[in-house]
Structure 1
């Protein structure tokens, strides 16, 4: 899980670092869409950044890798050497080609009057990365760049695609459509990491010592080992429940999860949170989604 978190954080950092270089793209004719994830042919495909212009589209696959990278066309793989260790990665050139194929199919379904050219690039954002490829791998030399080369590559695309194929009205419509059909990646974390939900530690963790389970007494949560007291410690516990188990919880489930002694206490806490509910009195479920929105 920590490895996944590191990879995700590294990728996010790489995408954020490109904001500096986006400033050098033509401001009037460029629209950027980030993190577009679309269901097509029963599978999701995701584009880190889609650049939309009146003349062409460009898909950017962004990688924040370090070390020595070697693109091998014979086996279509990316080999990284870092700290004396070799690792094989899926080939991002092939990945972005698949994204281009899916996007092209979606555009054809929308029946634009003229074909829309789609270019693609693999952008390496780490300034210290070393990139090499087999001499015969033409696509690697054409499609893999470092961040500072984005402006130059974009100018090449402008020279290659001089015909206007999208009006400003069509661009707005395309952005609206892609944003509408895009969905965020929200997996079941326990299922993803093969964790039995019964193995999760329940209760309200102390925000100070982060080890002890707090006790609810007279409207406050108390940690006996470190004497910390809090009136809102249950909020973080319910956020964890939403992330790990479900965004909906019943009074009975909350009472068991928070280690409360009565349904009266549970009702009191939920009334103060003012969460939306669904179902009748006996089957009532509280929607925890607003608690997650407070953390973003």
Structure 2
């Protein structure tokens, strides 16, 4: 069994940093909070499916999570792709509360919650588009023709789904998390002929993982917040928005009276997520609110960051701090 581990999308980390570095008076704070809630909700919905994956066959399945690929000038993303020798299964998870109504392939999905109606992109058509792109890629790879199935899994236990009597496709593709095991058995009985050999599966997985491009947007540009408007300084891990003071080679909080030796790592990670993954001594001094160049040089040197250039023109690379923060943290099974 081959698995691409699920990790928290980097946009969640970026939005968390942006919210932390955005002034309380900034009108866009609520917009940032809404976006963060949306991404966190979707991620938690994907995580919740891990429980049900445990009950699927353990030996012959290959899982790829969050694969995002550029195809025909557009990116398409699959929450989970399960590869078997008999068929492929695309799973689109939706963590949406309320009453969901599916009218037809030509209409949006309508959500009713707290007596308010809201239109969403039809997820049934969404997974059909994903199937089209995946099939095109497999054809280009000259892989054996294999059936591609797709499901929309509603992960919120309170969700109620309703379908137009004429929209039979939605009724067959939209399920709750608890129905995944039974649906997988149904698909396995439908596709009993082995088509892909182990070398075919490895070829598909290698291609998809190689061409995977994580979503990594510039959130400052997205919310039109200039870099100079971001809050500077090293924040107290305990008191959050309180800015620490540099005292005798440590960071001191005058509110909780604690010292934090490595609090600047989180601040530099914010810088890397929001501004640039490279930083100069001058930019570091300004962002951390340091008083001298020697302080700045000492802090950056003690982090053992890779760098280019001489001391005065030295540029430090912060990719390692980002990787440390966003590294895989959720394992499947």
TM bracket, shorter-chain basis: over 0.9
> Is structure 2 residue 165 aligned with structure 1 residue 165?
no
> Is structure 2 residue 86 aligned with structure 1 residue 55?
yes
Describe the shift of the 1:193–1:180 C-alpha distance in structure 2 as closer, same or farther (beyond 3 A): same
Q: TM-score, normalised by structure 1?
A: 0.94
Cross-structure match for 2:279: 249
Q: CA deviation at 1:222?
A: 2.8
Partner residue of 1:64 out of 95, 119, 125: 95
User: Per the alignment, in what secondary structure is the counterpart of residue 139 of structure 1?
Assistant: helix
Cross-structure match for 1:153: 183
Q: CA deviation at 1:225?
A: 5.0
Higher RCO (Cα < 8 Å, 6 or more apart): 2
Cross-structure match for 1:285: 315
Q: CA deviation at 1:271?
A: 1.1
Partner residue of 2:209 out of 179, 189, 193: 179
Partner residue of 1:262 out of 289, 292, 298: 292
State the structure with more CA Rg: 1
RMSD of equivalent CA atoms: 1.7
Q: CA deviation at 1:294?
A: 3.0
Q: CA deviation at 1:226?
A: 4.9
Aligned residues of 2:105 and 2:125 also touching (Cα < 8 A): no
Deviation readout 1:166-214 (Å, 9 max, x if unpaired)? 0012212221221111121111111122211111111112334334333
User: Per the alignment, in what secondary structure is the counterpart of residue 120 of structure 1?
Assistant: strand
Q: CA deviation at 1:39?
A: 1.0
Unaligned runs of at least 5 residues, structure 1 = none
Moved over 4 A (4+): none
User: Per the alignment, in what secondary structure is the counterpart of residue 96 of structure 2?
Assistant: coil
Cross-structure match for 1:139: 169
Unaligned runs of at least 5 residues, structure 2 = 1-31, 328-333
Describe the shift of the 1:225–1:21 C-alpha distance in structure 2 as closer, same or farther (beyond 3 A): closer
